[in-house]
Structure formats: structure tokens, C-alpha cells
Amino acid sequence: MIVILKQNPDANQLNRLISWLREKGIDVHETIGASQTILGLIGDTHHLDMDLITALDIVDDVRRVQEPYKNANRKFHPRDTVIKVGDTQIGGGNLTLIAGPCSVESEEQICAIAESVKKSGATMLRGGAFKPRTSPYSFQGLRGEGLRLLSMAKKLTGLPIVTEIMDISQLPLFDDVDVIQVGARNMQNFELLKALGQTHKPILLKRGSSCTYEELLMSAEYIMAGGNEQVILCERGIRTFENYTRNTLDVAAVPVLKQLSHLPVIIDPSHATGKSALVDSLSCAAVAAGADGLIIEVHNDPAHAMCDGPQSIRPEAFDALAKRLRIISDAVSAK
């Protein structure tokens, strides 16, 4: 951590600051220039509250040098984390394909889609039971009943299931769920993250639509600090000035997050733009960029899906896409 002092700092205050830092086991190196003095803080600064120092009268600015996350940091854990879910593995060179409808609608629907995407090579089944909708007047999901139908599809196909939780109180219903998804809007619902840190299930953590890489990794850190190290990071489009698409897919998130962290990184090309016609191109781009997998909305009747129909693709399209993805994955993993 670097502390940039204001010009002519009060000597007493400066001494108090340096003593306080040394008491906390931090080494302080002073660099005194003609117009500026800089303090270099060396040691474990994770637990140091930057804001406290910034607030001091003699301080102009404070900059972190080390990342504020530890458990999620590749520097302290150089090897890729690989997460086992049923017979499949996420991370470590595997290509994970999670597919299924936006919302679970009925037994026939979820079972038919599950069988179809399995045949095309999907390794997990997705489907929303609890649905975060902007309007209180929109369909809110089948909730508990949706989870029951997902279990039936899992039993039928053997595909592990991924579905979203929206509140701590729903946790008891998630016993048969294999991977619990935290939606973009809940990425900084810290009480929920803490509760999930106490579970033993893998967590698929979606990046908030205007959260930085560092904030995403800090939210992963919340879960991991509780003892649950099985976190899958998911980029699903960020909010920008461009609104021809619902969000803007930040494909650079893949190589950046994999550099900063050892956790697996997947992409949601469906929510990234909200347009089904773009899902194919963006899926190819994500795998070419090195993503560990994709979570794609597939619906047998997108025009009558209960929500998010415009971003779902048909099973036939998914089948053709999955084949192309294997070729791209081989091309980039050969490097």
C-alpha cells in the first residue's frame, strides 16, 4: 500500500500514523521529495482499512499495491481450481456446457429440453425457479414447484442442476440442487454470500452488471472466507452506454479473471445481450477467449417462453453450436 502525503504534513500527525502502522506489523518506508512525500507500506495489508488512512488530514491519497482478496487470488493458489459436480468437472481444461430454459414452466417442458440438450453434449441443466424480474407484475417463477420439476429432469437425464437462489430463506429448498446460482443483482447481497459460505455446494456467482473484476473477486472472497472454496465466476454482460443490446459482453473478463484468480470462469451469452441471434457468435468468442464453459438459454418454443424468450435459442441451434465449440476449444487449448 502506498500513502501519498499532502505537502508539508504535520510532523506529529505523521509520526502518529507511522507508529500506528508499525504496531500493526507493517513496515513503513519514507520517500521524501522536494514537493511530495510518499510512504511505502510493506507487510500484510489485507486487514488494513484504506478508508481510515485516507481520512487523515495529512494524507492526499492511498493506493493499493496488493489485491484485497486472498483466497480467490492466483498469487497464493497458482493452480486452477477444478470443481466436481456429479460426473462432470468445471475448470482445468474441461469445457462445461450448461443449458436449459430461462424458467421452468412444466414437467414436459423441462424434461424435453433436458433430454435434448444432454444429447447435444450439455454437461449440466439450468432452469429458473425463483426469477428476479424488474416488474412486480411479471411472472416470478414457479418457485418451490420449479425446484421439484428440476429434480425430476435430473432424475430422468442424470444431468446435475444449476438454479438461482434469491433469499437466504429459500436455502432449505435447495437440497437436491447441485450448483447454486447467485444472480447479478445479488452479487453484493453480502448476507446471502455469507450464508452460502457456510454451505458445501458449488456456487455459480454472476458478475453484477456494473461491478468491477475486483468487486466480483471480493464477493467470491465473502463465500470463500466462510469456508466454501467452490466458486465459479460468471460474466454475463455489463451495463454500458450502448443500449442496442441489453448489456455488453465483456469478453476480456475471461483472460483477466483467469490471470487474477484460480477459479473457473464461464460466460452467459444469453443475458449478455438479450438477443438470441447473437448467442452463437458470442458463445464462439467466449470459448475462443479461453472460457471454462457457457451457460446458455435453450427453449423448445422461445416465442412462448414465460420470460426472456427473446434471448433463448432452439435445441437444433444448440446442437450445431456445441459441435463448433468443441473445434474452437481444441484450437485454443492446443497453445
* Cα–Cα nearest to 221, from 255, 193, 202, 195: 193
Q: Does 313 bind a second copy (CB under 8 A)?
A: no
Closest to 102 (Cα-Cα) out of 312, 318, 319, 315:
312
User: Which of 178, 250, 268, 292: binder of a second copy (CB under 8 A)?
Assistant: 250
52 touches a second copy by CB under 8 A:
yes
Interactions with a second copy, residue window 91-120 (CB under 8 A): none
Work out how close the CB of 113 gets to a second copy at its nearest, in angstroms, rounded to a whole number. 16
Between CA 312 and CA 79 the distance in angstroms is: 35
2 makes contact with a second copy (CB under 8 A)? yes
Say how many residues touch a second copy, by CB under 8 A: 107
The one segment of 79-87, 111-119, 151-159, 299-307 that binds a second copy by CB under 8 A? 299-307
Smallest gap from Cβ 272 to a second copy, in A, equals 7
> How far is residue 156 CA from its own chain's centroid?
29
Pairing mode, strands 59-63 and 2-5: antiparallel
* 59-63 β-sheet, strand order: 27-32, 37-42, 2-5, 59-63
- Give one DSSP letter per residue of 19-41, joined into a string: HHHHHTT-EEEEEE-SS-EEEEE
| Spatial separation of the C-alpha atoms in residues 203 and 300, rounded to whole Å | 27
Binding mask 261-280 for a second copy (x = CB under 8 A): -----------xx---xx-x
Residue of 22, 84, 155, 324 interacting with a second copy (CB under 8 A) = 324
* Residue 49 interacts with a second copy (CB under 8 A): yes or no: yes
Q: Is 147 in the site for a second copy (CB under 8 A)?
A: no
The answer to whether residue 85 forms part of the interface with a second copy (CB under 8 A) is no
Q: Which stretch binds a second copy (CB under 8 A): 35-43, 92-100, 110-118, 171-179?
A: 35-43
Q: What is the largest CA-CA distance in the chain?
A: 76
Is 256 exposed, middle or buried (CB count within 10 Å of its CB: 0-12, 13-18, 19+)?
middle
309 scored as a contact of a second copy (CB under 8 A): yes
Q: What angle do helix axes 107-119 and 144-157 make, rounded to 10 degrees?
A: 40
How far separated are the first and last CA of the chain, in Å rounded? 36
**Phi, psi dihedrals of residue 195, rounded to the nearest 5°:** -65, -40
Of the ranges 83-91, 156-164, 173-181, 248-256, which one interacts with a second copy (CB under 8 A)? 248-256
Least spacing, CB of residue 87 vs a second copy, in Å: 27
The residue (of 39 and 85) whose beta carbon lies closer to a second copy is: 39
290 belongs to the binding site for a second copy (CB under 8 A): yes
Cβ count within 10 A of residue 227: 11
Q: State in angstroms the smallest separation of the CB of 158 from a second copy.
A: 29
Distance between CA atoms of residues 294 and 328, nearest Å: 13
Q: What is the dihedral of CA 186, 190, 193, 198, to 10 degrees?
A: -160
Instruction: Restricting to residues 150-189, name those near a second copy by CB under 8 A.
Output: 166-169, 185-186, 188-189
228 lies in the binding site for a second copy (CB under 8 A): no
Comparing CB distances to a second copy, the nearer of 156 and 171 is 171
User: Cα separation of 234 and 118, whole Å?
Assistant: 21
Given 92, 93, 145, 252, the residue binding a second copy (CB under 8 A): 252
Query: Of 218, 265, 295, 296, which one interacts with a second copy (CB under 8 A)?
Result: 218
Contact region with a second copy (CB under 8 A), list: 91-99, 111-119, 135-143, 153-161: 135-143
Q: Could you tell me the smallest distance in angstroms from the CB atom of residue 78 to a second copy?
A: 12
Taking residues 60 to 79 in sequence order and writing x for each that binds a second copy by CB under 8 A, - otherwise, the string is -x-x-xx-x-----------
**Lookup: cell for 75:** 498469487
